[in-house]
Amino acid sequence: MTTSIYTPEMARLVDVEQMTELEKLFTIELPGGRDLGHEPGQFMMVSVLGVGEAPVSITSSPSRSNGSFELCVRRVGDVTNALHRSQPGDLVGVRGPFGHGFPIEKMRGKDLLFAPGGLGLAPLRSLINQVLDERGSFGRVIILYGAKRPQELLFRDELEEWVNSPDVDCRITVDRGDETWVGHVGVITTLFPDVSVNPRNTVAVTCGPPIMYRFVLMELLGKGIPETQIYLSLERRMKCGVGKCGHCQINSLYCCQDGPVFAYAQIKGFEEAM
């Protein structure tokens, strides 16, 4: 029987939830309810047959798999727009999980500072929920989340839980508020001055739009967090997911295989990274 690393497996959409104007949450079940076996930070190649294939980070945590996994998808290109037209019960093609995720073992016993911007919360949520499910293994959990507008905030139920949880220091900001918004207004970096950390014992994790990284890095480095303890999840165009097609290359690195999660120390000298 012919097999190929490029052939997707057809998997069932069991739930589709509209999260914002542009983002939907897709819950997907593998044939036979098989466990995906992913690690937080990895991604899937998702196919809509006849349209194409695109890389999407896995947003669900392995600790909450329940025989399915979740993808939070912004409709922005051909494949994601087609995916948004899919209904529960439909089959979609999936390959993966691919890439290197977050090094959770290196995070145990440490304070964690998460700094997601916008859709960057999707890959970080996988790790955040894994950490919260093993809460005793970690120190402080700080989440600084920024979105452009209040209506673009993702996973609002979970945000509310995190904000109200004594186990989590979760602060949220929006670039521009509206008449109903009573929270913090300002870009994500405006959340940092009020947060004090023990830098040697803190691991920071960030993901967001390309423009955000340099500013967040300045804040993290400014707090004295070592470059080896700052992790970034990067986005790139991908056509294979397995280090062959060349699209995701960052200088000599392949985002799909060497990443998508990198330590800042690892990519500091790679000019194409940001």
- C-beta closer to other proteins: residue 161 or 175: 175
- C-beta closer to other proteins: residue 221 or 274: 274
User: Position of tokens 């894994």?
Assistant: 130
Task: Work out whether 2 is an interface residue with other proteins (CB under 8 A).
Answer: yes
Residue 118 CA to residue 174 CA, distance in Å, equals 9
Maximum Cα–Cα distance for the chain, whole Å?
61
Task: Work out whether 210 is an interface residue with other proteins (CB under 8 A).
Answer: yes
Subset of residues 213 to 242 that bind other proteins, contact rule: CB under 8 A: 235-237, 239-240, 242
Among 15, 21, 134, 272, binds other proteins (CB under 8 A): 272
Residue 77 CA to residue 228 CA, distance in Å, equals 34
- C-beta closer to other proteins: residue 203 or 255: 255
Binding piece for other proteins, criterion CB under 8 A, among 120-128, 152-160, 186-194, 264-272: 264-272
For residue 148, how far is the Cα from the chain centroid?
17
Q: Judge if the upstream peptide bond of residue 260 is cis by omega within 30 degrees of 0.
A: yes
H or E element at residue 222: helix 212-222
**Start-end of H helices in 59-120:** 78-84, 104-107
Among 23, 53, 70, 111, binds other proteins (CB under 8 A): 53
Residue 164 CA to residue 170 CA, distance in Å, equals 8
- C-beta closer to other proteins: residue 195 or 242: 242
In the shown chain, the binding pattern of residues 55 to 94 toward other proteins, with x for contact by CB under 8 A and - for none, equals -------------------x-xxxxx----------x-x-
Task: Work out whether 249 is an interface residue with other proteins (CB under 8 A).
Answer: yes
Task: Work out whether 148 is an interface residue with other proteins (CB under 8 A).
Answer: no
To other proteins, the closest distance from the beta carbon of 192 in angstroms equals: 24
229: phi then psi, degrees, rounded to nearest 5? -110, 20
Sequence letter at residue 163? V
Q: Could you tell me the sign of the dihedral formed by the alpha carbons of 76, 81, 83, 88, in that order?
A: positive
* Residues at the contact surface with other proteins, assessed by CB under 8 A: 2-8, 10, 47, 49-54, 74, 76-80, 91, 93, 209-210, 235-237, 239-240, 242-252, 257, 269-272
